Chain A
Amino acid sequence: MSWAAPDDILLSTSLAGFLDKKLIVLLRDGRKLLGTLCSFDQFANVVLQGACERVIVGEQYCDVPLGLYVIRGENVVLIGELDREKDELPAHMTCVSEAEIRKAEKAEREARDLKGTMRKRMEFLDFD
């Protein structure tokens, strides 16, 4: 094996370029974690420092602090670099407390489950 040719370095998909940057990590379960990248490996396992979960429900959001997080790579969907100069969220969104956002989240989940079961009932009737 000879040394890494220039095209290997340039073409590299390594997360080294994201080290010490503020990132948003999307997970398979739909969670959005923000934090600073401390470490990573070839499986996209990731260590985030100062992690917080950004919960968004409709026009409301809340950042729930989590601390130091190790994320197993198989759950990672996307790792995005947050541009410091741009707004992270649209201006019309309001920041609320954790208790409130959890309530809103629960309500949204229940509404979605209800819709799901209604649809299942309709599908049983085989309309389409």
Chain B
Amino acid sequence: MRRQASAMARMADRQPPAQPRQIPLANRNRQPSPCPPTPSPAGALSLVATTGRRRRRRPPPGAYSSFRSSPEKSTHQLFFSYFKELVGKEVTVELKNDLAIRGTLHSVDQYLNIKLENTRVVDQDKYPHMLSVRNCFIRGSVVRYVLLPQDGVDIDILHDATRREARGG
């Protein structure tokens, strides 16, 4: 969870978007590990130095792996993980000010802030100022509902994860 916040802070300080991986300060003087480094998006930073064995790696993003084997202590990650699984699906977000927006879920963060793409407002005539908005960022604190597609929800996984969180947390 801290990683997300500092990732965001890093993005705030640094230059815009398409940065390849930044080396955290702690890693900068490490020697490269014997195993080949994982390819970074822009191929640039080959200084990518880490000793994978010493660090606790996040589980790879597989189906529901973030649900099943969350290594952190219970820090209320359940819905965050759930929304991460829904990225790419079409959802309708209803806000506390009654504005309802339909769009593709682009991303979500620990505060359940939501980024939607390809958005359309449900009652367009009532909200003329939203006419040309196609991408938006919605603060998590103002969301009333997130309406999900009927077929997009696997209830059993959610049940299991909830039971686990209730037990472990």
Chain A residues within CB distance 8 Å of chain B:
1-20, 24, 26, 28, 30, 32, 39-42, 44, 54, 56, 61, 73-74, 76-83, 86-90, 93
Contacts and interface: CB of A to CB of B under 8 A. Distances in A.
Nearest to B21: A3
A80 B135 contact: yes
B84 interface: yes
A3 B132 contact: no
Given A2-B55, A12-B107, A44 B132 contact: no
Nearest to A76: B139
19 contacts: A3-B23, A3-B24, A3-B50, A9-B7, A11-B109, A17-B16, A17-B17, A24-B129, A76-B139, A77-B95, A78-B139, A79-B138, A80-B119, A80-B135, A80-B137, A81-B134, A89-B131, A90-B128, A93-B128
Interface residues of B, number: 55
Interface of B: 2-12, 16-17, 19, 21-24, 26-27, 41, 48, 50, 55, 57-58, 61, 84, 87, 95-97, 99, 101, 107-109, 113-115, 119, 128-139, 141-142
Contacts of A40: 12
A14 B11 contact: yes
B12 A83 contact: no
A128 to B, nearest CB: 21
A42 to B, nearest CB: 5
Nearest to A6: B41
B129 A56 contact: yes
Given A12-B109, A13-B115, A30-B97, 15 more contacts: A4-B10, A6-B41, A13-B8, A13-B109, A15-B137, A40-B12, A41-B12, A42-B8, A54-B129, A56-B128, A56-B129, A77-B99, A78-B101, A80-B119, A83-B134
B12 A39 contact: yes
Contacts of A86: 131-132, 134
